[in-house]
Structure 1
Amino acid sequence: MAAIMIQGTGSDVGKSVLVAGLCRAFANRGLNVRPFKPQNMSNNAAVTADGGEIGRAQATQALACRARASVDMNPVLLKPQGDRTSQLVVRGAVRGTLAASNWRQGRAGLLDVALESYHRLAAGTDLVVVEGAGSPAETNLRAGDIANMGFARAARVPVVLAGDIDRGGLIASLVGTHAVIDADDAAMIRGFLVNKFRGDPALFDDGMTTIEQRTGWRGLGIVPWLGAARRLPSEDAVVLERPAAGRDGRIVIACPVTPRIANFDDFDPLKLEPGVELVMVPPGRAIPDAAMIVLAGSKATCADLSFLRTQGWDIDIVAHHRKGRPVLGLCGGYQMLGRSVSDPAGIEGPPGSIAGLGLLAVDTVLGGDKALSRVTGTALGARFEGYEIHLGRTAGPDTARPVGRLHDGRAEGAVSADGLVAGSYVHGLLGLKAQRAAWLARIGVAATGPDHAADIDAALDEIAAALEVALDLEAMLAIAQG
């Protein structure tokens, strides 16, 4: 078994995409590859075949390996639900809540968990590609670290450091990392790569030489700007696109972006449709005139519902409905569309209850065991497949008009009496072309895009092909093999 870890000089330098691309590139060479991330922080999660939840990026990386996702691929997941609190998920199951005040105590033993999952995952594989988190240069977090050098040294996994040239200061970020980490950590880094380069890579030859001379690390290549990366599911809300509405005569579908938005990649399939403009509406802007409004999930439904009102988006949504235009809410968005959301045990924040938007005659009570399951079914006369990942139960008169039926015959979701408002707990509802076509037909748009999964698979192949050209993969494999 061989392993290599991709760390970055900072957050959002492209580590997740690089790991996915490397997984597909090495899988295309016939290797049995698996992804691994010891600790992740994201509210975009996916349900695994073994019934747990992991970060969305690791699920995509599993697809890149053509393997089934498992909880061992991301044994520690932090899901932010407030400025200073996060839900702690260990091997796919909720363990509790961590706050800034109890972080040091709460993470005790998590390195052992990560190492156990790593060794179990690595058994029988040819190669494990590990993704770091943040940056090893955050030396204030080094004590007790399990995400970067703490894991790399404990598991004896060599590191390749990635820097993002698009944000500027690349030489300083790579050389600076070498300068601030301790010598034993620096010795784990066997090479570096440059990511997101636009133009002729030869223009940076002198820069590569400078970095090699100042760090002693080997340059492994310059990765171009990967346009296909935009077709992969996003993990962090920081990368949400903010296009202008209504370009090229396309029909606008609008989604407001709340502070704890989760699984917003549910609406990525809409980007595959040339007749649709998906507008992610940032705070401070009104929801534009749209053919449909969609509400994404949330890690803190009550708090995000309150935020939605402070933005005046509740007025926009109600006015949209009065015009006879449809609204679709998924998971937390479904809960917000109801009459009330109650959190008596304070699972997602302070205990209490909040009035919903009142567009669906349903009420939600948060609590009980988290629903974690992969599902298939039929809605609007077309098949869907996806997963459920939510806390709470929703009930009320409008559930008598379900959105669809699951494969076992159970009713799923709710539809308003006028048929304009729908809520569902199925993440990935719009992934299959036929299901997406049924929803878009309600606003007069013909669906011509592919199944979402097929488009992701094609994007992974494009990224892998680009990495084959840009990087010295033979050298990286030699590093992994020690």
Structure 2
Amino acid sequence: MANYIMMMGTSSHVGKSILTTALCRILYRQGRRVVPFKAQNMALNSYVTRDGDEMGRAQVAQAEAAGLEPVADMNPVLLKPTGNSCSQVIIMGKPVGNMSAREYHKGYSLKAFGAVKDALARLDREYDTIVIEGAGSPAEINLKANDIVNMRVAKHLQAPVLLIADIDRGGALASLVGTLELLDEEERALVKGLVINKFRGDVTLLTPAIDFLEEKTGKPVLGVIPHIEQMGIDDEDSVSLQEKMAVPEDGDVKIAVIQTPKISNFTDFDALSHEQDVSLYYVKDSDGLGQPDVIMLPGSKNTTEDMLYLRKSGLADLILAHEAAGKPVIGICGGYQMLGELICDPEHTESENDEVEGLGLLGMKTVFAKEKLTSQVRGMCRDLPFMGQYISADDLRGYEIHMGHTEFTRAGDEHPFMITERRNAACESVEGTANGINVFGTYIHGVFDNDKFRRSVLNAVRISKGLEPLANTRNTAAEKQQAYEHLADVVEEALDMDKLFEIMGESCGNRQMADGQEAAQNVHQAGENV
């Protein structure tokens, strides 16, 4: 039976995911068999496992920090918003349908909790420590009755909880005290400690506040985590993009990523943003575009609606003018589909739109189907014509998440992207198109995580601007491991680890006691039934 620790927050975006990642790495390097877990994610930033299951990106980072291959048991329920208070519901990596918020929260969520308990039971048998992440706040009164990710999980496991507040946004003390006040007695008892996150400045100046918190709540403050700049770890959701919207003044290569309302898998561009010669920013409207060297269109959970948004916002006209000036435009997955001539949704898989005209920059037509393709892939890029250069990379790795089948309609276009392996089976599948000059797109998520390919694309842009190409000196995979190590170092130094281990050690005994009480209650009820 595993030990547990659960990370909850006073609100969204206080650092639960990052601190869960940190604990996974801290415990992993101490030799523990540690695994991350989050019962339910609501995010458009997803990943595909080796088995072809879809799960949230946050648990992928946490799994990497724990030295594990990501599996759906780490995130058994994933909600991907499609618009109009509706989400695609994914259970154990497989979509089960689209539901309105009311349908899900009032009828289905408690059924989904069965999958949550099953996943936890499997992890409990295999690992000695489970680090659990909550979602949002556990004190949302309108959601608590049907919530399956916060206190329902904690009570099911009798897991000790650390409550986290973000001091950088202000009001941290009030949010901690207020959250505890809104919990019921059993829930408050499960909160074993408080954590203040994202602190800037001299921590000794916070001593009076810590003393007040401990006296007011009766809960120990386990640590004050400093604000960490440029962690190099994937963000969980698009809330973080608000900090990346300023048009940069420097950078040899300026890249504008179009932030459509249903943007998904924006982590496709993280590796680009970490390049020394790149300034990458996100754009929501025509006023924010500026004068980029490259425009990139990301994936989308609702491609036709996002394409209509590009036209309504005026961004479509600016993208077309950018391309007409000979500047590059690149699309990934849904963004790749938008580069084509037509996007059709006859089954209304994503929206009520039968078909929508694309940007017409690539000769292709996409038709949506009800079945989603999710798989890890290996592939190659051969002689991609781009900005006067020819780019080749023989060992591309990434993954696919799409419901559209693309047909090519223009003889002059190139098809340099080939998937050679899907779900460990050999194949030959064309999954990308180029106009031969300055536009290309592909279905391969994570294509820019491939170091040689990424640098080759950037160098083609540099050469077109009259700049010297740069050598490929980065190892993205190694950098990510270094980022996990740095995060773990900072958090381990800031937290009272002795107190944390004491709290975790109590969790196993609490669970055994709860199991015994539950078994006794079941026996008693059985006797009454007889």
How far, CA to CA, are the matches of 2:249 and 2:276 in structure 1?
11
How far, CA to CA, are the matches of 1:182 and 1:398 in structure 2?
64
Q: How does 1:446-461 map to 2 (within 5 A)?
A: 446=470, 448=472, 450-461=474-485
Name the aligned partner's letter for residue 481 of structure 1: G
Give the structure 1 partner of residue 12 of structure 2.
11
How far, CA to CA, are the matches of 1:143 and 1:108 in structure 2?
9
Task: List per-residue Cα deviations over 1:409-445 (Å, max 9, x = no partner).
Answer: 5243333443321110100001121110121122025
The percent identity for this pair of structures is 39
* Cα drift, residue 449 of structure 1: 5.5
Give the structure 2 partner of residue 470 of structure 1.
494
Q: Does 1:236 align with 2:237?
A: yes
Task: List per-residue Cα deviations over 1:332-385 (Å, max 9, x = no partner).
Answer: 000100111111111112141100000011111111421111111221321321
* Cα drift, residue 398 of structure 1: 5.2
- Tell me which of 418, 428, 431 is aligned to 2:436: 418
CA contact (8 A) 1:165 1:196 kept: yes
Task: List per-residue Cα deviations over 1:48-103 (Å, max 9, x = no partner).
Answer: 12220110000110000010000000000000111400110000000111203312
CA contact (8 A) 1:403 1:423 kept: no
* Cα drift, residue 285 of structure 1: 2.1
Give the structure 2 partner of residue 52 of structure 1.
53
Q: Does 1:435 align with 2:435?
A: no
Give the structure 2 partner of residue 296 of structure 1.
298
Give the structure 2 partner of residue 149 of structure 1.
151
TM-score when scaled to structure 1? 0.96
Name the aligned partner's letter for residue 201 of structure 2: G
Give the structure 1 partner of residue 113 of structure 2.
111
Runs of 4+ in 1 over 4 A off after TM superposition: none
Q: Tell me the secondary structure at the aligned position of residue 321 of structure 2.
A: helix
CA contact (8 A) 2:304 2:353 kept: no
Change in 2 beyond 3 A, CA 1:398/1:233: farther
* Cα drift, residue 477 of structure 1: 2.2
* Cα drift, residue 242 of structure 1: 2.9
Task: List per-residue Cα deviations over 1:194-243 (Å, max 9, x = no partner).
Answer: 100001111111111111111111110110001243x1111211111335
* Cα drift, residue 397 of structure 1: 3.4
Gaps of 5+ in 2: 382-390, 421-425, 463-468, 507-530
* Cα drift, residue 39 of structure 1: 0.6
Give the structure 2 partner of residue 381 of structure 1.
392
* Cα drift, residue 447 of structure 1: 5.5
How far, CA to CA, are the matches of 1:345 and 1:455 in structure 2?
43
Q: Does 1:182 align with 2:184?
A: yes
How far, CA to CA, are the matches of 1:357 and 1:449 in structure 2?
35
Q: Tell me the secondary structure at the aligned position of residue 95 of structure 2.
A: strand
* Cα drift, residue 481 of structure 1: 2.2
Change in 2 beyond 3 A, CA 1:363/1:189: same
- The number of equivalent residue pairs is 481
Task: List per-residue Cα deviations over 1:98-150 (Å, max 9, x = no partner).
Answer: 20331211223111210110111221212110000000111221102111001
Q: How does 1:152-231 map to 2 (within 5 A)?
A: 152-229=154-231, 231=232
Name the aligned partner's letter for residue 394 of structure 1: T
How far, CA to CA, are the matches of 2:488 and 2:116 in structure 1?
27
CA contact (8 A) 1:145 1:151 kept: no
Give the structure 1 partner of residue 74 of structure 2.
73
Q: Does 1:285 align with 2:298?
A: no
- Tell me which of 314, 322, 330 is aligned to 1:320: 322
Give the structure 2 partner of residue 406 of structure 1.
419
Name the aligned partner's letter for residue 321 of structure 1: E
How far, CA to CA, are the matches of 2:114 and 2:177 in structure 1?
31
CA-based RMSD of the aligned residues comes to: 1.6
Gaps of 5+ in 1: none
CA contact (8 A) 1:35 1:61 kept: yes
- Tell me which of 387, 393, 396 is aligned to 2:405: 393
Moved more, 281-290 or 157-166: 281-290
Q: Tell me the secondary structure at the aligned position of residue 163 of structure 2.
A: strand
Name the aligned partner's letter for residue 428 of structure 1: G
Name the aligned partner's letter for residue 404 of structure 1: F
Give the structure 1 partner of residue 369 of structure 2.
367
CA contact (8 A) 1:159 1:188 kept: yes
Moved more, 316-325 or 452-461: 452-461
How far, CA to CA, are the matches of 2:363 and 2:295 in structure 1?
18
Name the aligned partner's letter for residue 166 of structure 2: D
Change in 2 beyond 3 A, CA 1:448/1:417: closer
Q: Tell me the secondary structure at the aligned position of residue 130 of structure 1.
A: strand
Name the aligned partner's letter for residue 418 of structure 2: R
How far, CA to CA, are the matches of 1:245 and 1:237 in structure 2?
18
How far, CA to CA, are the matches of 2:55 and 2:275 in structure 1?
28
* Cα drift, residue 156 of structure 1: 1.7
* Cα drift, residue 175 of structure 1: 0.6
Give the structure 2 partner of residue 37 of structure 1.
38
How far, CA to CA, are the matches of 1:204 and 1:190 in structure 2?
20
How far, CA to CA, are the matches of 2:60 and 2:235 in structure 1?
11
Task: List per-residue Cα deviations over 1:241-298 (Å, max 9, x = no partner).
Answer: 3354342342211111111100011011111211111121123524222221111000
How far, CA to CA, are the matches of 1:188 and 1:107 in structure 2?
23
Give the structure 2 partner of residue 85 of structure 1.
86
Change in 2 beyond 3 A, CA 1:386/1:416: closer
Which structure has the greater CA radius of gyration? Answer: 2
CA contact (8 A) 2:35 2:129 kept: yes
Give the structure 2 partner of residue 267 of structure 1.
269
Task: List per-residue Cα deviations over 1:435-464 (Å, max 9, x = no partner).
Answer: 101211220253645233222211111000
Q: Tell me the secondary structure at the aligned position of residue 448 of structure 2.
A: coil
